[in-house]
Copies of this chain bind each other. A is one copy, B any other.
Amino acid sequence: MSSAHLGLGSKCPPAHKCKLRLYSMRFCPYAQRIHLVLDAKKIPYEVVNVNLTQKPEWLYSKSPQGKVPVLELDGDCLHESAIIADYLDDKYQHWPLHPRDPWKKAKDKLLLDQFNKVVCLLMRMLRSPRNIDKLFMEELMEELDVFEAELTARGTPFYGGSRPGMLDYMIWPWCERSDMPRIVVGDRWNLPKERFRHLMEWRGAMKDDEAVKKSFLESSVHAKYFMSAQAGSPDYDLLLH
């Protein structure tokens, strides 16, 4: 999972027939979604990590915009994390992650759509950390209120019930990184524990999940990568030094 990231001028390693391959980047939250789904379902796969600054030429033949994650099987590829995740859940039904009830599944997809607002706010913050103020934090917290309320209403430790489901894994990568902003912007990043009590408990429970453990990195590590990226030379191979 933490192999060296292949860049411009590299050769794509030969693939094995009938074996799933995930093109990933060790710190990409979208790619992590697919690691989580594969690991939760215990599907065997191999990983090829990709340098996203000096992209290998062959990446574009697998993903039109040269993005990760890409899932490859027998020379054919899928991109877009939500589409890959749905594929894996459709194909490997022994450990379903989406709710079995179609209406509930659709409701979770709407929540996932709504989580994109959280992602956009986090990206905005990390792009210009100096602009973080009380107004920004309130805007962010209002988006998170939806997820706190939903978890409270469900009355279960996870959105998926007694174990994590697709929605849990799809939003997890950003929640794993939720202490990172404090390292970057300091005390202006402050999520009141009382307001997000169930989300905090959920976060603790997620950390104990076997699939989550496989790709988990501490916030300090995420921050280290983030700061290298912000300084203009992302240290993709940080974990190999």
A residues with CB within 8 A of B? 73, 76, 78-80, 83-84, 86-87, 90-91, 102-103, 105-107, 109-110, 113
User: For the complex, what is the distance from the CA of A5 to the CA of B26, rounded to whole Å?
Assistant: 51
Inter-subunit contact B91/A78 (CB<8 Å): no
Inter-subunit contact B109/A83 (CB<8 Å): yes
Task: Give the residue name and chain of the B residue nearest to A114 (CB).
Answer: B64
Inter-subunit contact B90/A78 (CB<8 Å): no
Within 8 Å by CB of A86, from B79, B91, B106, B113, lies B106
Q: Which residues of B contact A90 (CB under 8 A)?
A: 102, 105-106
Q: Which residues of B contact A113 (CB under 8 A)?
A: 80, 83
The 6 A-B pairs with the shortest beta carbon distances in the complex, nearest first, are: A90-B102, A87-B106, A91-B102, A83-B109, A78-B106, A83-B106
Task: Give the residue name and chain of the B residue nearest to A73 (CB).
Answer: B103
User: For the complex, what is the distance from the CA of A233 to the CA of B227, rounded to whole Å?
Assistant: 52
Inter-subunit contact A91/B110 (CB<8 Å): no
Inter-subunit contact A103/B83 (CB<8 Å): no
Task: Give the residue name and chain of the B residue nearest to A74 (CB).
Answer: B103
Q: Which residues of B contact A110 (CB under 8 A)?
A: 78-80, 83
Q: Which residues of B contact A80 (CB under 8 A)?
A: 109-110, 113
Q: Which residues of B contact A84 (CB under 8 A)?
A: 106
Inter-subunit contact A103/B91 (CB<8 Å): yes
Q: How far is the CB of A225 from chain B (nearest CB, A)?
A: 28
User: For the complex, what is the distance from the CA of A109 to the CA of B85, rounded to whole Å?
Assistant: 12
User: For the complex, what is the distance from the CA of A83 to the CA of B86, rounded to whole Å?
Assistant: 12
Inter-subunit contact B79/A103 (CB<8 Å): no
Within 8 Å by CB of A107, from B78, B103, B109, lies B78
Inter-subunit contact B73/A87 (CB<8 Å): no
User: For the complex, what is the distance from the CA of A113 to the CA of B79, rounded to whole Å?
Assistant: 11
Inter-subunit contact A76/B91 (CB<8 Å): no
Q: Which residues of B contact A86 (CB under 8 A)?
A: 106, 109
